[in-house]
Protein backbone atom coordinates (compact mmCIF):
# COMPACT_ATOMS: atom_id res chain seq x y z
CA UNK A 1 0.00 0.00 0.00
CA UNK A 2 1.17 3.55 -0.81
CA UNK A 3 -0.07 6.44 1.34
CA UNK A 4 0.46 9.69 -0.56
CA UNK A 5 0.22 13.21 0.90
CA UNK A 6 1.75 16.39 -0.50
CA UNK A 7 5.18 15.57 -1.90
CA UNK A 8 5.51 12.50 0.32
CA UNK A 9 4.71 8.80 0.08
CA UNK A 10 4.68 6.07 2.69
CA UNK A 11 5.31 2.75 0.95
CA UNK A 12 4.27 0.10 3.47
CA UNK A 13 5.48 -2.71 1.25
CA UNK A 14 8.99 -1.44 0.68
CA UNK A 15 8.98 0.04 4.20
CA UNK A 16 10.05 3.36 2.76
CA UNK A 17 9.33 7.08 3.13
CA UNK A 18 9.83 9.02 -0.10
CA UNK A 19 9.84 12.74 -0.88
CA UNK A 20 9.31 13.59 -4.52
CA UNK A 21 10.23 10.01 -5.33
CA UNK A 22 13.50 10.05 -3.38
CA UNK A 23 13.80 7.80 -0.30
CA UNK A 24 14.24 9.49 3.05
CA UNK A 25 15.86 7.46 5.82
CA UNK A 26 13.74 7.02 8.96
CA UNK A 27 14.12 4.53 11.76
CA UNK A 28 11.58 1.66 11.72
CA UNK A 29 9.65 2.82 14.78
CA UNK A 30 9.18 6.30 13.31
CA UNK A 31 7.94 4.74 10.07
CA UNK A 32 5.44 2.59 12.00
CA UNK A 33 4.28 5.69 13.86
CA UNK A 34 3.67 7.56 10.59
CA UNK A 35 1.78 4.63 9.07
CA UNK A 36 -0.38 4.18 12.15
CA UNK A 37 -1.33 7.85 12.33
CA UNK A 38 -1.96 8.06 8.58
CA UNK A 39 -4.16 4.96 8.53
CA UNK A 40 -6.17 6.27 11.48
CA UNK A 41 -6.48 9.84 10.23
CA UNK A 42 -10.24 9.86 10.80
CA UNK A 43 -9.76 10.42 14.52
CA UNK A 44 -7.46 11.60 17.29
CA UNK A 45 -5.11 8.83 18.41
CA UNK A 46 -4.26 8.96 22.10
CA UNK A 47 -0.70 8.75 23.37
CA UNK A 48 -1.58 5.61 25.29
CA UNK A 49 -2.91 3.92 22.16
CA UNK A 50 0.35 4.68 20.37
CA UNK A 51 2.36 3.31 23.28
CA UNK A 52 0.22 0.16 23.46
CA UNK A 53 0.44 -0.46 19.71
CA UNK A 54 3.94 0.54 18.69
CA UNK A 55 5.82 -0.65 21.76
CA UNK A 56 3.76 -3.81 22.24
CA UNK A 57 3.41 -3.54 26.00
CA UNK A 58 6.97 -2.45 26.77
CA UNK A 59 7.32 0.25 29.38
CA UNK A 60 8.63 3.45 27.85
CA UNK A 61 8.44 7.01 29.00
CA UNK A 62 6.22 9.72 27.57
CA UNK A 63 9.42 11.42 26.53
CA UNK A 64 10.27 8.54 24.21
CA UNK A 65 6.99 8.99 22.35
CA UNK A 66 7.43 12.76 22.19
CA UNK A 67 10.88 12.23 20.71
CA UNK A 68 9.47 9.92 18.00
CA UNK A 69 6.72 12.44 17.18
CA UNK A 70 9.34 15.16 16.82
CA UNK A 71 11.49 12.95 14.55
CA UNK A 72 8.45 12.03 12.43
CA UNK A 73 7.58 15.68 11.97
CA UNK A 74 11.14 16.52 10.99
CA UNK A 75 11.13 13.75 8.37
CA UNK A 76 8.04 15.35 6.81
CA UNK A 77 9.33 18.92 6.96
CA UNK A 78 6.80 19.58 9.72
CA UNK A 79 7.28 20.92 13.23
CA UNK A 80 5.44 21.60 16.45
CA UNK A 81 4.52 25.10 15.33
CA UNK A 82 3.10 24.52 11.85
CA UNK A 83 1.68 21.00 12.51
CA UNK A 84 0.76 20.69 8.84
CA UNK A 85 0.93 16.88 8.93
CA UNK A 86 0.75 15.77 12.57
CA UNK A 87 -1.43 17.90 14.82
CA UNK A 88 -1.28 17.81 18.60
CA UNK A 89 -4.54 17.92 20.51
CA UNK A 90 -3.72 18.95 24.06
CA UNK A 91 -4.29 16.11 26.56
CA UNK A 92 -5.99 14.00 23.92
CA UNK A 93 -3.32 12.84 21.47
CA UNK A 94 -2.38 13.30 17.81
CA UNK A 95 -4.10 13.28 14.46
CA UNK A 96 -2.69 13.04 10.94
CA UNK A 97 -4.23 16.10 9.26
CA UNK A 98 -2.51 16.22 5.86
CA UNK A 99 -4.90 15.19 3.03
CA UNK A 100 -3.95 11.69 1.94
CA UNK A 101 -4.58 9.37 -0.98
CA UNK A 102 -4.18 5.63 -0.59
CA UNK A 103 -3.04 3.48 -3.50
CA UNK A 104 -3.04 -0.29 -3.62
CA UNK A 105 -0.10 -2.28 -4.93
CA UNK A 106 0.33 -5.84 -6.02
CA UNK A 107 3.53 -6.25 -4.01
CA UNK A 108 3.22 -8.35 -0.90
CA UNK A 109 3.02 -6.02 2.12
CA UNK A 110 5.72 -7.21 4.49
CA UNK A 111 5.85 -3.85 6.24
CA UNK A 112 2.12 -3.77 6.89
CA UNK A 113 2.41 -7.26 8.29
CA UNK A 114 5.14 -6.10 10.68
CA UNK A 115 3.03 -3.21 11.91
CA UNK A 116 -0.01 -5.45 12.16
CA UNK A 117 1.98 -7.98 14.16
CA UNK A 118 3.01 -5.29 16.61
CA UNK A 119 -0.59 -4.21 17.06
CA UNK A 120 -1.73 -7.81 17.49
CA UNK A 121 1.01 -8.46 20.04
CA UNK A 122 -0.08 -5.46 22.07
CA UNK A 123 -3.70 -6.48 21.84
CA UNK A 124 -2.92 -10.02 22.98
CA UNK A 125 -0.88 -8.71 25.86
CA UNK A 126 -3.35 -6.23 27.30
CA UNK A 127 -6.72 -6.78 25.70
CA UNK A 128 -7.22 -10.43 24.87
CA UNK A 129 -6.65 -12.18 28.15
CA UNK A 130 -10.16 -13.62 27.99
CA UNK A 131 -8.57 -16.05 25.52
CA UNK A 132 -5.28 -16.42 27.40
CA UNK A 133 -6.13 -15.73 31.00
CA UNK A 134 -2.55 -15.72 32.24
CA UNK A 135 -1.20 -13.93 29.18
CA UNK A 136 0.08 -10.66 30.65
CA UNK A 137 1.48 -12.18 33.80
CA UNK A 138 3.11 -15.05 31.93
CA UNK A 139 4.76 -12.63 29.51
CA UNK A 140 6.02 -9.92 31.78
CA UNK A 141 4.74 -10.31 35.34
CA UNK A 142 3.52 -6.74 35.38
CA UNK A 143 0.17 -5.94 36.97
CA UNK A 144 -2.51 -4.44 34.72
CA UNK A 145 -4.54 -1.36 35.60
CA UNK A 146 -7.72 -0.26 33.84
CA UNK A 147 -9.29 3.18 34.14
CA UNK A 148 -12.97 2.85 33.29
CA UNK A 149 -15.02 5.61 31.65
CA UNK A 150 -16.28 7.94 34.37
CA UNK A 151 -20.04 7.93 34.86
CA UNK A 152 -22.00 11.17 34.97
CA UNK A 153 -25.66 10.19 34.93
CA UNK A 154 -26.65 13.44 33.23
CA UNK A 155 -27.53 14.41 29.72
CA UNK A 156 -25.49 17.61 29.93
CA UNK A 157 -22.88 17.41 27.15
CA UNK A 158 -20.44 19.54 29.11
CA UNK A 159 -20.54 17.20 32.09
CA UNK A 160 -20.18 14.18 29.82
CA UNK A 161 -17.14 15.71 28.16
CA UNK A 162 -15.60 16.60 31.52
CA UNK A 163 -16.09 13.02 32.74
CA UNK A 164 -14.31 11.77 29.62
CA UNK A 165 -11.41 14.20 29.97
CA UNK A 166 -10.90 13.51 33.68
CA UNK A 167 -10.77 9.77 33.09
CA UNK A 168 -8.32 10.18 30.23
CA UNK A 169 -6.08 12.57 32.19
CA UNK A 170 -5.97 10.20 35.16
CA UNK A 171 -5.14 7.29 32.85
CA UNK A 172 -2.27 9.24 31.25
CA UNK A 173 -0.83 10.20 34.63
CA UNK A 174 -1.08 6.67 36.03
CA UNK A 175 0.84 5.38 33.01
CA UNK A 176 3.93 7.06 34.48
CA UNK A 177 4.04 4.58 37.38
CA UNK A 178 6.88 2.12 36.72
CA UNK A 179 5.98 -1.55 36.55
CA UNK A 180 2.28 -1.25 35.70
CA UNK A 181 0.52 -1.66 32.39
CA UNK A 182 -2.28 0.86 32.00
CA UNK A 183 -4.79 -0.23 29.41
CA UNK A 184 -5.62 2.18 26.62
CA UNK A 185 -8.86 4.12 26.81
CA UNK A 186 -9.96 2.43 23.61
CA UNK A 187 -9.75 -0.89 25.40
CA UNK A 188 -11.80 0.20 28.42
CA UNK A 189 -14.41 2.25 26.54
CA UNK A 190 -16.49 -0.88 25.96
CA UNK A 191 -17.60 -0.71 29.60
CA UNK A 192 -19.26 2.65 29.19
CA UNK A 193 -22.82 1.41 28.58
CA UNK A 194 -22.96 -2.03 30.10
CA UNK A 195 -23.32 -3.64 33.48
CA UNK A 196 -20.34 -5.52 34.80
CA UNK A 197 -18.64 -6.80 37.91
CA UNK A 198 -15.05 -6.25 38.90
CA UNK A 199 -14.41 -9.94 38.48
CA UNK A 200 -15.75 -9.84 34.93
CA UNK A 201 -13.41 -7.01 34.06
CA UNK A 202 -10.52 -8.86 35.60
CA UNK A 203 -11.29 -11.92 33.51
CA UNK A 204 -12.04 -10.11 30.26
CA UNK A 205 -9.17 -7.61 30.31
CA UNK A 206 -6.65 -9.35 32.52
CA UNK A 207 -6.92 -6.31 34.81
CA UNK A 208 -5.66 -6.61 38.37
CA UNK A 209 -6.81 -3.15 39.45
CA UNK A 210 -9.63 -0.85 38.40
CA UNK A 211 -10.02 2.89 38.75
CA UNK A 212 -13.58 4.09 38.37
CA UNK A 213 -15.17 7.43 39.00
CA UNK A 214 -18.17 9.69 38.63
CA UNK A 215 -18.81 13.37 37.95
CA UNK A 216 -21.99 15.09 39.18
CA UNK A 217 -23.14 18.67 38.91
CA UNK A 218 -24.57 20.00 42.16
CA UNK A 219 -25.48 23.66 42.17
CA UNK A 220 -22.42 25.61 41.19
CA UNK A 221 -20.07 22.74 42.00
CA UNK A 222 -18.88 19.50 40.48
CA UNK A 223 -18.60 16.51 42.77
CA UNK A 224 -15.91 14.10 41.59
CA UNK A 225 -15.79 10.63 43.12
CA UNK A 226 -12.93 8.18 42.44
CA UNK A 227 -12.12 4.76 43.82
CA UNK A 228 -9.42 2.13 43.34
CA UNK A 229 -10.51 -1.51 43.40
CA UNK A 230 -8.77 -4.86 43.34
CA UNK A 231 -10.50 -7.09 40.80
CA UNK A 232 -9.58 -10.48 42.28
CA UNK A 233 -11.05 -9.90 45.69
CA UNK A 234 -13.39 -7.05 44.84
CA UNK A 235 -11.85 -4.95 47.62
CA UNK A 236 -11.99 -1.16 47.61
CA UNK A 237 -8.40 -0.09 48.26
CA UNK A 238 -9.06 3.63 48.29
CA UNK A 239 -11.92 6.03 47.61
CA UNK A 240 -12.47 9.75 47.88
CA UNK A 241 -14.86 12.52 46.83
CA UNK A 242 -13.87 16.08 46.08
CA UNK A 243 -15.76 19.21 45.12
CA UNK A 244 -14.61 21.58 42.36
CA UNK A 245 -16.33 24.94 41.83
CA UNK A 246 -17.52 25.11 38.24
CA UNK A 247 -16.22 28.65 37.80
CA UNK A 248 -12.70 27.45 38.75
CA UNK A 249 -12.74 24.25 36.74
CA UNK A 250 -10.06 25.32 34.28
CA UNK A 251 -7.78 26.40 37.10
CA UNK A 252 -8.30 23.37 39.33
CA UNK A 253 -8.77 20.49 36.91
CA UNK A 254 -5.10 19.67 36.49
CA UNK A 255 -4.52 20.05 40.22
CA UNK A 256 -7.41 17.65 40.92
CA UNK A 257 -5.98 15.04 38.56
CA UNK A 258 -2.53 15.26 40.17
CA UNK A 259 -4.06 14.93 43.63
CA UNK A 260 -6.09 11.87 42.63
CA UNK A 261 -3.08 10.14 41.07
CA UNK A 262 -0.87 11.10 44.05
CA UNK A 263 -3.28 9.33 46.38
CA UNK A 264 -3.82 6.32 44.15
CA UNK A 265 -0.16 5.48 43.55
CA UNK A 266 0.91 4.49 47.09
CA UNK A 267 -2.23 2.38 47.59
CA UNK A 268 -1.65 0.68 44.26
CA UNK A 269 1.95 -0.07 45.16
CA UNK A 270 1.01 -1.39 48.60
CA UNK A 271 -1.58 -3.74 47.14
CA UNK A 272 0.77 -5.06 44.50
CA UNK A 273 3.60 -5.61 46.94
CA UNK A 274 1.27 -7.51 49.24
CA UNK A 275 0.33 -9.67 46.27
CA UNK A 276 3.96 -10.28 45.38
CA UNK A 277 4.79 -11.40 48.90
CA UNK A 278 2.23 -14.18 48.58
CA UNK A 279 3.89 -15.62 45.48
CA UNK A 280 6.89 -17.95 45.40
CA UNK A 281 10.17 -16.42 44.34
CA UNK A 282 10.65 -19.08 41.65
CA UNK A 283 7.55 -17.80 39.89
CA UNK A 284 8.61 -14.20 39.78
CA UNK A 285 9.58 -12.51 36.54
CA UNK A 286 11.99 -9.61 36.12
CA UNK A 287 9.44 -6.90 36.88
CA UNK A 288 8.23 -8.63 40.01
CA UNK A 289 11.81 -9.14 41.21
CA UNK A 290 12.49 -5.47 40.59
CA UNK A 291 9.44 -4.40 42.55
CA UNK A 292 10.31 -6.69 45.45
CA UNK A 293 13.83 -5.31 45.51
CA UNK A 294 12.33 -1.83 45.43
CA UNK A 295 10.10 -2.61 48.41
CA UNK A 296 12.49 -4.41 50.77
CA UNK A 297 13.71 -1.35 52.67
CA UNK A 298 10.16 -0.18 53.32
CA UNK A 299 9.18 -3.65 54.51
CA UNK A 300 12.17 -4.55 56.65
CA UNK A 301 13.85 -1.28 57.54
CA UNK A 302 17.50 -0.37 57.03
CA UNK A 303 20.02 -3.06 57.86
CA UNK A 304 22.89 -4.89 56.18
CA UNK A 305 20.51 -7.77 55.52
CA UNK A 306 17.78 -5.67 53.88
CA UNK A 307 20.18 -3.71 51.66
CA UNK A 308 21.95 -6.87 50.50
CA UNK A 309 18.64 -8.66 49.92
CA UNK A 310 17.41 -5.74 47.82
CA UNK A 311 20.62 -5.72 45.79
CA UNK A 312 20.40 -9.49 45.19
CA UNK A 313 16.79 -9.26 44.00
CA UNK A 314 17.72 -6.46 41.59
CA UNK A 315 20.65 -8.51 40.26
CA UNK A 316 18.24 -11.40 39.64
CA UNK A 317 15.90 -9.04 37.77
CA UNK A 318 18.79 -7.86 35.60
CA UNK A 319 19.83 -11.44 34.81
CA UNK A 320 16.28 -12.20 33.66
CA UNK A 321 15.96 -8.97 31.69
CA UNK A 322 19.26 -7.15 31.01
CA UNK A 323 17.29 -4.38 29.25
CA UNK A 324 15.33 -3.44 32.37
CA UNK A 325 16.66 0.08 32.95
CA UNK A 326 14.74 0.53 36.21
CA UNK A 327 16.53 -2.45 37.81
CA UNK A 328 19.98 -1.16 36.83
CA UNK A 329 19.11 2.34 38.07
CA UNK A 330 17.72 1.19 41.39
CA UNK A 331 20.63 -1.18 41.97
CA UNK A 332 23.02 1.75 41.61
CA UNK A 333 20.94 3.69 44.16
CA UNK A 334 20.76 0.81 46.66
CA UNK A 335 24.52 0.32 46.54
CA UNK A 336 25.25 4.06 46.84
CA UNK A 337 22.84 4.71 49.73
CA UNK A 338 23.84 1.48 51.45
CA UNK A 339 27.49 2.46 51.44
CA UNK A 340 26.69 6.04 52.45
CA UNK A 341 24.96 4.88 55.64
CA UNK A 342 27.45 2.08 56.35
CA UNK A 343 25.21 -0.86 55.42
CA UNK A 344 26.96 -1.93 52.21
CA UNK A 345 30.60 -2.88 52.61
CA UNK A 346 33.32 -4.44 50.50
CA UNK A 347 35.52 -3.13 47.72
CA UNK A 348 33.41 -3.81 44.63
CA UNK A 349 30.28 -1.82 45.44
CA UNK A 350 31.38 1.42 43.76
CA UNK A 351 32.44 -0.27 40.53
CA UNK A 352 29.12 -2.14 40.39
CA UNK A 353 27.09 0.98 41.27
CA UNK A 354 28.77 3.11 38.60
CA UNK A 355 28.39 0.37 35.97
CA UNK A 356 24.68 -0.06 36.84
CA UNK A 357 24.14 3.70 36.67
CA UNK A 358 25.79 4.05 33.27
CA UNK A 359 23.89 1.05 31.90
CA UNK A 360 20.56 2.45 33.10
CA UNK A 361 21.18 5.81 31.45
CA UNK A 362 22.29 4.12 28.22
CA UNK A 363 19.09 2.04 28.17
CA UNK A 364 16.67 4.88 28.92
CA UNK A 365 18.32 8.19 29.63
CA UNK A 366 15.12 10.17 29.12
CA UNK A 367 12.98 8.49 31.76
CA UNK A 368 12.31 10.53 34.89
CA UNK A 369 12.45 7.56 37.27
CA UNK A 370 15.69 6.24 35.80
CA UNK A 371 17.32 9.67 35.99
CA UNK A 372 15.95 10.16 39.51
CA UNK A 373 17.53 6.95 40.81
CA UNK A 374 20.82 7.38 38.97
CA UNK A 375 21.12 11.08 39.81
CA UNK A 376 20.62 10.33 43.49
CA UNK A 377 23.15 7.49 43.34
CA UNK A 378 25.78 9.68 41.70
CA UNK A 379 25.20 12.47 44.23
CA UNK A 380 25.53 9.99 47.11
CA UNK A 381 28.80 8.73 45.58
CA UNK A 382 30.20 12.26 45.56
CA UNK A 383 29.56 13.31 41.96
CA UNK A 384 27.29 16.17 42.95
CA UNK A 385 27.61 18.12 39.71
CA UNK A 386 26.47 15.31 37.44
CA UNK A 387 23.96 13.98 39.98
CA UNK A 388 22.25 17.37 40.40
CA UNK A 389 22.14 17.80 36.62
CA UNK A 390 20.38 14.45 36.18
CA UNK A 391 17.97 15.16 39.02
CA UNK A 392 17.03 18.54 37.58
CA UNK A 393 16.32 16.82 34.26
CA UNK A 394 14.25 14.14 36.02
CA UNK A 395 12.12 16.81 37.70
CA UNK A 396 11.79 18.71 34.44
CA UNK A 397 10.49 15.55 32.73
CA UNK A 398 8.06 14.75 35.56
CA UNK A 399 7.47 17.38 38.26
CA UNK A 400 5.34 14.85 40.18
CA UNK A 401 8.28 12.42 40.62
CA UNK A 402 8.55 12.69 44.41
CA UNK A 403 11.77 10.67 44.62
CA UNK A 404 13.58 12.87 42.09
CA UNK A 405 12.31 16.08 43.73
CA UNK A 406 13.38 14.95 47.21
CA UNK A 407 16.73 13.63 45.96
CA UNK A 408 17.40 16.92 44.19
CA UNK A 409 16.69 18.72 47.44
CA UNK A 410 19.05 16.43 49.37
CA UNK A 411 21.83 16.86 46.80
CA UNK A 412 21.46 20.65 46.81
CA UNK A 413 21.58 20.72 50.61
CA UNK A 414 24.70 18.57 50.52
CA UNK A 415 26.19 21.15 48.16
CA UNK A 416 25.30 23.88 50.65
CA UNK A 417 22.42 25.30 48.60
CA UNK A 418 19.50 26.50 50.71
CA UNK A 419 17.02 26.00 47.84
CA UNK A 420 17.32 22.29 48.62
CA UNK A 421 14.99 22.79 51.60
CA UNK A 422 12.01 23.65 49.43
CA UNK A 423 12.71 20.82 47.01
CA UNK A 424 12.76 18.32 49.85
CA UNK A 425 9.56 19.70 51.33
CA UNK A 426 7.94 19.59 47.91
CA UNK A 427 8.91 15.93 47.53
CA UNK A 428 7.27 15.17 50.87
CA UNK A 429 4.14 17.11 49.86
CA UNK A 430 3.88 15.19 46.59
CA UNK A 431 3.99 11.79 48.31
CA UNK A 432 3.22 12.23 52.03
CA UNK A 433 2.57 8.51 52.60
CA UNK A 434 5.71 7.41 50.79
CA UNK A 435 7.68 4.70 52.62
CA UNK A 436 10.80 6.80 51.99
CA UNK A 437 9.39 9.79 53.88
CA UNK A 438 11.31 8.95 57.06
CA UNK A 439 14.67 8.89 55.27
CA UNK A 440 13.83 12.06 53.33
CA UNK A 441 12.84 13.78 56.56
CA UNK A 442 16.14 12.77 58.15
CA UNK A 443 18.12 14.24 55.26
CA UNK A 444 16.04 17.41 55.37
CA UNK A 445 16.64 17.73 59.11
CA UNK A 446 20.38 17.26 58.57
CA UNK A 447 20.33 19.99 55.93
CA UNK A 448 18.43 22.34 58.24
CA UNK A 449 21.03 21.72 60.95
CA UNK A 450 23.78 22.65 58.50
CA UNK A 451 21.93 25.90 57.81
CA UNK A 452 21.66 26.69 61.52
CA UNK A 453 17.86 26.23 61.57
CA UNK A 454 17.94 24.01 64.64
CA UNK A 455 14.31 24.28 65.77
CA UNK A 456 13.08 23.36 62.29
CA UNK A 457 15.56 20.48 62.26
CA UNK A 458 14.20 19.11 65.54
CA UNK A 459 10.59 19.35 64.35
CA UNK A 460 11.44 17.71 61.03
CA UNK A 461 13.48 14.88 62.55
CA UNK A 462 10.75 14.21 65.13
CA UNK A 463 8.14 13.83 62.39
CA UNK A 464 10.55 11.64 60.38
CA UNK A 465 10.91 9.31 63.37
CA UNK A 466 7.13 8.92 63.58
CA UNK A 467 6.92 8.03 59.89
CA UNK A 468 8.81 4.74 60.28
CA UNK A 469 9.92 2.81 63.36
CA UNK A 470 12.38 0.67 61.34
CA UNK A 471 14.91 3.32 60.25
CA UNK A 472 17.66 4.47 62.61
CA UNK A 473 18.83 7.47 60.58
CA UNK A 474 16.20 10.07 61.70
CA UNK A 475 16.89 9.12 65.34
CA UNK A 476 20.59 9.81 64.85
CA UNK A 477 19.87 13.19 63.28
CA UNK A 478 17.38 14.02 66.04
CA UNK A 479 20.06 13.23 68.65
CA UNK A 480 22.50 15.55 66.86
CA UNK A 481 19.91 18.32 66.77
CA UNK A 482 19.16 17.98 70.49
CA UNK A 483 22.81 17.84 71.53
CA UNK A 484 23.46 21.02 69.56
CA UNK A 485 20.96 22.79 71.85
CA UNK A 486 22.56 21.28 74.96
CA UNK A 487 19.64 18.95 75.70
CA UNK A 488 21.56 15.82 76.69
CA UNK A 489 18.50 13.94 77.94
CA UNK A 490 16.61 14.16 74.67
CA UNK A 491 19.79 13.41 72.73
CA UNK A 492 20.32 10.29 74.87
CA UNK A 493 16.72 9.19 74.30
CA UNK A 494 17.01 9.64 70.54
CA UNK A 495 20.29 7.71 70.39
CA UNK A 496 18.79 4.96 72.51
CA UNK A 497 15.92 4.69 70.06
CA UNK A 498 18.41 4.48 67.17
CA UNK A 499 20.32 1.69 68.95
CA UNK A 500 17.06 -0.18 69.53
CA UNK A 501 16.65 -0.37 65.75
CA UNK A 502 20.36 -0.86 65.05
CA UNK A 503 22.03 -2.49 68.10
CA UNK A 504 25.45 -2.34 66.45
CA UNK A 505 25.24 1.45 65.99
CA UNK A 506 28.81 2.71 66.25
CA UNK A 507 30.72 5.97 66.40
CA UNK A 508 31.62 5.45 62.75
CA UNK A 509 27.89 5.17 61.87
CA UNK A 510 27.09 8.40 63.72
CA UNK A 511 30.10 10.22 62.26
CA UNK A 512 28.76 9.70 58.76
CA UNK A 513 26.03 12.26 59.54
CA UNK A 514 27.56 14.34 62.31
CA UNK A 515 29.75 17.42 62.13
CA UNK A 516 32.96 17.28 64.27
CA UNK A 517 31.58 19.77 66.87
CA UNK A 518 28.50 17.56 67.31
CA UNK A 519 30.70 14.51 67.89
CA UNK A 520 32.64 16.47 70.49
CA UNK A 521 29.42 17.39 72.29
CA UNK A 522 28.23 13.78 72.30
CA UNK A 523 31.57 12.62 73.71
CA UNK A 524 31.55 15.34 76.35
CA UNK A 525 28.08 14.21 77.45
CA UNK A 526 29.25 10.59 77.61
CA UNK A 527 26.75 9.51 74.96
CA UNK A 528 29.33 7.86 72.71
Q: How many domains does the chain have?
A: 4
Residues 344 and 458 in one domain: no
Residues 70 and 41 in one domain: yes
According to the model, what pLDDT value does residue 377 have?
A: 96
Can you tell me the distance from the alpha carbon of 19 to that of 48, in angstroms, rounded to the nearest whole number?
A: 29
Q: Is the dihedral of CA 384, 385, 390, 393 positive or negative?
A: positive
| CATH code, domain with 64 | 1.10.10.10
Query: Is 409 within a domain?
Result: yes
Are the C-beta atoms of residues 400 and 372 closer than 8 Å to each other? no
Which residues form the domain of 318? Answer: 279-435
According to the model, what pLDDT value does residue 479 have?
A: 95
| CATH code, domain with 458 | 1.25.40
Spell out where 85-171 has E strands: 86-89, 93-96, 101-103, 144-147
Residues 295 and 207 in one domain: no
Can you tell me the distance from the alpha carbon of 522 to that of 124, in angstroms, rounded to the nearest whole number?
A: 63
According to the model, what pLDDT value does residue 123 have?
A: 33
Residues 284 and 272 in one domain: no
The answer to whether the pTM exceeds 0.85 is: no
According to the model, what pLDDT value does residue 282 have?
A: 35
The one-digit pLDDT tens for each residue of the chain (528 residues) are 789 998 899 887 667 888 888 888 777 778 888 988 998 887 888 888 888 777 655 556 667 788 788 888 988 988 777 788 998 877 678 889 988 887 654 443 333 343 333 333 333 333 322 222 333 343 345 678 888 888 876 656 677 777 777 777 777 777 766 667 777 665 676 676 556 677 777 777 778 888 888 888 877 788 888 888 888 777 788 788 888 887 776 666 666 677 777 767 677 666 666 665 554 343 457 877 887 788 788 778 888 899 999 999 999 999 988 988 989 999 999 999 999 988 888 778 999 999 999 999 998 888 888 999 999 999 999 999 999 999 999 988 877 788 899 999 999 999 999 999 999 998 887 776 677 888 999 999 999 999 999 999 999 999 999 988 888 999 999 999 999 999 999 999 999 999 999 999 999 889 989 999 999 999 999 998
Angle, CA 427 vertex, CA 421 and CA 431 arms, to 5°: 150
Which of 77, 94, 123 is the C-terminal boundary of a domain?
Answer: 123
Residues 53 and 193 in one domain: no
Residues 362 and 490 in one domain: no
Can you tell me the distance from the alpha carbon of 439 to that of 263, in angstroms, rounded to the nearest whole number?
A: 20
Are the C-beta atoms of residues 402 and 430 closer than 8 Å to each other? yes
Residues 352 and 400 in one domain: yes
User: H or E element: which one contains 215?
Assistant: strand 209-218
Question: What residues pair up with 144 in beta bridges, in sequence order?
Answer: 181
Residues 481 and 414 in one domain: no
Count CA within 13 A, CB hemisphere, residue 121.
Answer: 15
Can you tell me the distance from the alpha carbon of 468 to that of 190, in angstroms, rounded to the nearest whole number?
A: 43
What is the distance, to the nearest Å, from the Cα of residue 302 to the centroid of all Cα atoms in its chain? 23
According to the model, what pLDDT value does residue 205 have?
A: 73
Which of 244, 277, 310 is the C-terminal boundary of a domain?
Answer: 277
> Which residue from 444, 518, 446, 509 is spatially nearest to 486, judged by alpha carbons?
518
Which of 403, 435, 467 is the C-terminal boundary of a domain?
Answer: 435
Amino acid sequence: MIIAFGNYELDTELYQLRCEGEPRPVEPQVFDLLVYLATHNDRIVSRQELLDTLWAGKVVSDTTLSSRIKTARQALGDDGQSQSCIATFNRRGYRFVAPIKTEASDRKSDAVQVLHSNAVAASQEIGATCLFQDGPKALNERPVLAVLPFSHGQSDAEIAWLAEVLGEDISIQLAHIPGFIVLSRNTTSQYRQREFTMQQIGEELGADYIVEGSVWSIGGNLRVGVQLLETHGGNILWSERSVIPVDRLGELQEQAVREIVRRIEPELNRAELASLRKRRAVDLGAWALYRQGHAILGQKGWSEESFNEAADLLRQAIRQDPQLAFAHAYLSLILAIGHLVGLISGEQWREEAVAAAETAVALDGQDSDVLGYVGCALADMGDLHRGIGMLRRAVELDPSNAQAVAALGAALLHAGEEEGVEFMRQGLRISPRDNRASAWGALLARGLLNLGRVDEAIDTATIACRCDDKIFLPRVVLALAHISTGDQDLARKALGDAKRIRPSLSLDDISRFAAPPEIDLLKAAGLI
